[in-house]
């Protein structure tokens, strides 16, 4: 009997084909996901179609499939091969892998950081008006050198060699990130790093600081390895991965009037103020003239590093800034935002350690006590807060309030992201998606206190003796005994609240504008992804709202198939990757510090923002209305949805 497969035999197989293809379609994803992939630090989950969270095939289906393969190998094996091929094409075209996503991100970064040569020449001329010795090429060469030195220091897990070139907040950022990686049990292994190109792409000038944005296009081999690996082992591991190109935007600040001192700056190992040899040190002060070398008062100081894909140029209006400058003429956003960024990283570090007292020198006593109580409650339950891959997207002063008989208040909008949650003590951190977060950091300072421009961007110092602050639990300076944390002479942290909680507490009525950024000029509009309007809701906010919806939907332990479909609709229309939404569903409420109470003003604000997104094209279709009704039900606001739709 011939073993050749004929059309007649195909007729005999016809009843089996639908179920066979279905089995192939189900098994193909499992084959594709047999290895971890899709992300540098965690394995991406698969999409399942049931109403629950778990994945995998029922045992009877697996048994049936293998039975068919054993009985009819000449039919089943080609079908499986076809199914795997179809699945591969599907994933390749509709669900880009990590390499494809990085290529898309690089293209977006290129688009956001391109400027015209005429603009560059105009910025150079503006700087030359204040500093006749300024030349662009030496600045670009120094940026290239600093990039390479910073990578070496990062790889060796010791940022001390580059500390004089960094603002205090940038220094704090790198050190906290290294601590978080160490707590995770990994280190970053990099090698073959090289700078492909550096360009000036922006200049901002104020009375207190000039800020230049330098585009750094670079390439390196980068992977994570166990923290126990030696430098040689880490380098060998990095050499096994393919090199990847990326773009960053480095922001340097310098006080107007500072002059370029050829051959007499930190890059030549000299004090940028007096030209004497500078040997470094924890204080970052010249031992001859006492100048704080990373203040930005004498030379360019690196104050911020932004990924090219996140770079946005826009103008902001700060409520109360003019009135605040009448009381403190030296008050400027550059120093205040650097101080807020410093406090953010100290806030993250204290929670990661589980010790709120490390904030005692930079936070108001009530804030330290409140955070300490929260951490102690977790400790009693054998739990801890986990922050992995923490990064800051933007730090913007939102408003200033002057209180002549008490404390002045600064509200600072901090947009950040992390794989964060609550996990067991002394156990491997839970698998979590990277979730955009938005907090308002409220800083307070005694009315009448003045900005210390001598320290500039060196914002982590005692206001009395100018010594660098330590992380000890003492509420006083370890060197001069000055009482700290009270806000008598410098800004201290009073509270850090999720955006919705802060917004409700401060009674803002015009929620329609709170997530939008004003775009001042047409050239700036072109640098911001926009549906065509002058104001846009950024992708990080859409992600945050969608993850909040997923966490709320999963809070009761059951996610129905209809809820999953509606969330998937949102992910498609809002441009949020579905795999991460699924991980948010599985993680549940632990994604956020706390979920908003049902029927609360905070819940109302979230629903209003979701309605705004749905209305971005001017209408709400049937599917969007179902999505809004489900969201309103979860938030306990069914009766208010109609009025919100009517308002818009």
For residue range 340-354, what is the model confidence (pLDDT) as tens digits? 999 999 999 999 899
Residues 6+ apart with CB under 8 A from 79: 20, 21, 24
Which segments of the chain have a pLDDT < 70?
A: 1-66, 83-105, 313-316, 426-432, 507-539, 591, 593, 616-618, 647-648
Instruction: Return d(Cα 282, Cα 274) in angstroms, integer.
Output: 19
Under 8 Å between Cβ of 45 and 583: yes
Query: Tell me, what's the pLDDT at 99?
Result: 54
Instruction: Return d(Cα 479, Cα 470) in angstroms, integer.
Output: 10
Residues pairing with 252 in the sheet: 212, 302
**CA-wise closest residue to 109 among 195, 210, 44, 201:** 201
Which tokens sit at 640?
Answer: 């208010």
Residues 6+ apart with CB under 8 A from 354: 375, 378, 379, 384, 385
Instruction: Return d(Cα 22, Cα 29) in angstroms, integer.
Output: 12
Query: Tell me, what's the pLDDT at 431?
Result: 65
User: Which domains are assigned to the chain?
Assistant: 17-32+44-95 (no CATH), 102-314 (3.10.450.240), 316-508 (3.10.450), 517-647 (no CATH)
Instruction: Return d(Cα 451, Cα 331) in angstroms, integer.
Output: 6
Q: Say how many CA atoms lie within 13 Å of 175 toward its Cβ.
A: 19
Under 8 Å between Cβ of 271 and 286: yes
pLDDT, tens only, 158-174: 999 999 999 999 999 99
Query: Tell me, what's the pLDDT at 77?
Result: 75
């Amino acid at each position: 009997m011939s073993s050749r497969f004929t059309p007649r035999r195909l007729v005999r197989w016809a009843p089996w084909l639908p179920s066979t293809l279905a089995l192939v379609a189900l098994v193909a994803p499992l084959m594709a996901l047999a290895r971890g992939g899709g992300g540098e630090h965690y394995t991406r989950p698969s999409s399942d179609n049931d109403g629950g969270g778990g994945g995998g095939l029922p045992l009877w289906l697996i048994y049936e499939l293998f039975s068919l393969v054993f009985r009819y190998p000449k039919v089943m094996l080609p079908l499986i091969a076809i199914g795997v091929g179809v699945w591969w094409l599907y994933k390749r075209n509709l669900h880009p892998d990590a390499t494809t996503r990085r290529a898309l991100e690089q293209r977006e970064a290129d688009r956001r950081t391109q400027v015209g040569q005429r603009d560059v020449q105009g910025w150079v001329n503006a700087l030359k008006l204040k500093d006749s010795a300024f030349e662009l090429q030496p600045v670009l060469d120094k940026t290239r050198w600093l990039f390479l030195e910073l990578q070496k220091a990062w790889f060796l897990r010791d940022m001390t060699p580059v500390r004089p070139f960094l603002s205090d907040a940038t220094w704090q950022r790198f050190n906290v990130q290294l601590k978080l990686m160490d707590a995770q049990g990994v280190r970053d292994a990099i090698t073959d790093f090289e700078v492909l190109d550096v360009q000036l792409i922006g200049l901002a000038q104020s009375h207190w600081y000039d800020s230049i944005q330098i585009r750094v296009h670079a390439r390196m081999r980068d992977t994570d390895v166990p923290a126990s690996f030696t430098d040689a082992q880490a380098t060998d591991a990095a050499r096994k991965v393919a090199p990847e190109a990326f773009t960053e935007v480095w922001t340097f600040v310098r006080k107007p009037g500072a002059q370029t001192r050829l051959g007499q700056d930190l890059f030549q190992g000299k004090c940028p103020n007096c030209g004497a040899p500078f040997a470094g040190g924890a204080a970052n002060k010249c031992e001859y003239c006492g100048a704080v070398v990373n203040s930005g008062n004498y030379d360019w100081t690196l104050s911020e590093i932004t990924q090219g894909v996140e770079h946005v140029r826009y103008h902001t209006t700060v409520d109360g800034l003019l009135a605040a400058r009448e009381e403190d003429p030296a008050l400027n956003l550059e120093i205040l935002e650097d101080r807020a960024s410093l406090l953010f990283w100290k806030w993250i570090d204290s929670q990661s350690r589980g010790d709120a007292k490390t904030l005692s020198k930079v936070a108001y006593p009530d804030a330290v006590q409140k955070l300490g109580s929260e951490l102690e409650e977790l400790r009693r339950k054998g739990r801890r807060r986990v922050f992995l891959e923490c990064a800051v997207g933007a730090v913007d002063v939102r408003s200033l309030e002057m209180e002549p008989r008490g404390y002045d208040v600064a509200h600072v909008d901090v947009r950040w992201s992390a794989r964060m949650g609550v996990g067991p003590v002394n156990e491997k951190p839970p698998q979590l998606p990277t979730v955009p977060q938005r907090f308002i950091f409220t800083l307070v300072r005694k009315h009448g206190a003045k900005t210390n421009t001598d320290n500039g961007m060196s914002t982590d110092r005692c206001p009395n003796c100018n010594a660098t602050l330590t992380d000890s639990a003492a509420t006083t300076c370890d060197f001069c005994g000055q009482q700290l944390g009270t806000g008598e002479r410098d800004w201290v942290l009073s509270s850090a609240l999720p955006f919705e909680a802060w917004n409700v507490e401060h009674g803002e009525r015009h929620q329609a504008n709170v997530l939008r950024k004003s775009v001042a000029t047409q050239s700036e509009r072109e640098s911001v992804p926009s549906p065509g309007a002058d104001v846009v809701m950024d992708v990080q906010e859409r992600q945050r709202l969608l993850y909040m919806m997923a966490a709320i939907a999963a809070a009761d332990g059951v996610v129905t198939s209809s809820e999953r479909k509606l969330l998937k609709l949102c992910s498609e229309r809002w441009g949020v990757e579905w795999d991460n939404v699924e991980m948010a569903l599985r993680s549940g409420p632990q994604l956020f510090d706390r979920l908003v109470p049902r029927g609360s003003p905070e819940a109302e604000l979230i629903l209003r923002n979701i309605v705004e997104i749905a209305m971005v094209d001017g209408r709400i279709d049937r599917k969007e209305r179902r999505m809004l009704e489900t969201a309103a039900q979860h938030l306990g606001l069914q009766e208010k949805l109609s009025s919100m739709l009517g308002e818009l």
